[in-house]
Copies of this chain bind each other. A is one copy, B any other.
Amino acid sequence: MKVSVIGATGYAGAEFLRLLHNHPRADVVYMTSESHAGKPVAEVYPHLRGIYKQTLVSLEQLDEIAAASDVIFIGLPHGHAMAVGKKLVGKAVKIIDLGADYRFDDIDVYEQWYQVKHVHKDAERVYGLAELNREAIKQAGIIGNAGCYTTASILALAPLAKNKLIDPSSIVIDAKSGVSGAGRSAKLGNHFPEMYDNFKAYNVGGHRHTPEIEQALTKLAGEEVILSFTPHLVPMSRGILSTCYAKLQPGVTAAQVDQAYEQMYGDEFFIRLLGRGGYPATKEVRGSNFCDLGWHIDQRVGRVIALSAIDNLVKGAAGQAVQNFNICCGFEETMGLLNVPVYP
């Protein structure tokens, strides 16, 4: 398959290039960057020297890109992908967007949280979280790839919501991410000496991944889920750990909780169940597409605490997109994604 990467010089874009290089059925034809168009990609990312010889082009060449590509991966900030998507209507090219533009069923929710008018409201779009939505992804023309925090959080809570084991009004998600999640733009808050040996929260009550998690859990639970979500920055490059709290419904047993996870994920290759009492660690998934899950039941307080770890740039971005690519192209779902976590 011919694939192109729109917005190739963000961290997720570069991660695409890493993963696609070892994908037996994907051939990268174009990669774009508005700020670096005309430069070899290996000049912008020297770790790609000797691997990618391509030169970055501008999005202005979208027609040529579309003509030459079977699938287009988009790694642009929200608000830009829908403009691209709109231009590609009627072209024989699938779109897998890493951003938020195609993630929401309810465009109002999108517009309210992202504070931008949606320009491609009628797009037939599919939410790109394979473990929840595999059948729809198979047929999809536009996939709104799930976000990083959202992937970790939804996967941790989905079995509980789906089986109605928890009180949907009691959910608290306390999530922690490595700094690559904040992108490659240098700014004071992420300047090395400021962030090293430092830990802080940000965007309490206002992070845009909140409604995306709510949308997914609401569907699973069959009733409205409104929750607290708090992101934090960890002084490390990659990785997300999501700590999810919820009140168990009266009478729910530990065995029921265990069973919910087993039933939903027992056959999922990329979800590794550490079981009740398990402790996922971000380093144990680094560089891989795995999502490690553990859960704990605190009888004293009547809560379940679910823990999930992913690499934010892999299962939280480019890896998940490749997984969706495999599904919608009819390839083996794990193709190009069998790399072992880089440890230590």
Which residues does A use to contact B, with CB under 8 Å? 11, 14, 17-18, 21-22, 45-51, 170, 172, 174, 176, 178-180, 184-188, 190-202, 204-205, 226-228, 230, 232, 234-239, 241, 243, 245, 269, 272, 274, 279-288, 290, 292, 296-298, 300-301, 303, 305, 307, 309, 338-344
Q: Would A235 and B176 count as touching, CB distance under 8 A?
A: no
Let me know if A243 and B230 touch, CB within 8 A. yes
**Interchain CB contact under 8 A, A198 and B342:** no
Across the interface, which residues of B come within 8 angstroms of A186, CB to CB? 186-188, 190-191
Beta-carbon nearest neighbor of A189 in chain B: B186
List 24 A–B pairs whose Cβ atoms lie within 8 Å, in order of A's numbering.
Answer: A14-B343, A18-B342, A21-B340, A47-B283, A47-B285, A49-B274, A172-B172, A172-B245, A174-B174, A176-B199, A197-B238, A197-B283, A198-B236, A198-B239, A199-B236, A200-B279, A204-B279, A205-B297, A205-B305, A226-B301, A228-B298, A230-B243, A235-B236, A287-B287
Complex interface: chain B residues within 8 A of A22 (CB): 22, 338-340
CB distance from A300 to the nearest CB of B (A): 7
Smallest beta-carbon distance A149→chain B, Å: 14
The residue that A236 contacts in the complex, of B18, B50, B194, B197, with Cβ under 8 A, is B197
Residues of B within 8 A of A245 (CB): 172, 174, 228, 230
Q: Which residue of B lies closest to A11 (CB)?
A: B344
In the complex, the answer to whether B243 meets A174 with C-beta atoms within 8 Å is yes
By Cβ-Cβ distance, the 6 closest A-B pairs, closest first, are A205-B298, A198-B283, A193-B344, A174-B174, A200-B281, A47-B284
Q: B305 and A204: CB pair below 8 A?
A: yes
Tell me the bound Cα distance from A153 to B309 in angstroms. Answer: 25
| Most chain B C-beta atoms within 10 Å of own C-beta, residue among A228, A238, A284, A344 | A344
| A205 contacts across to B, CB distance below 8 A | 296-298, 300-301, 305
Contact yes or no, A180 B199, CB < 8 A = no
Closest to A342 in B: B287
Contact indicator A199/B239 (Cβ below 8 Å): yes
Contacts of A18 in B (CB 8 A): 340-343
Contact B286 A196 (CB under 8 A): no
Q: How far is the CA of A340 from the CA of B46 in the complex (A)?
A: 11
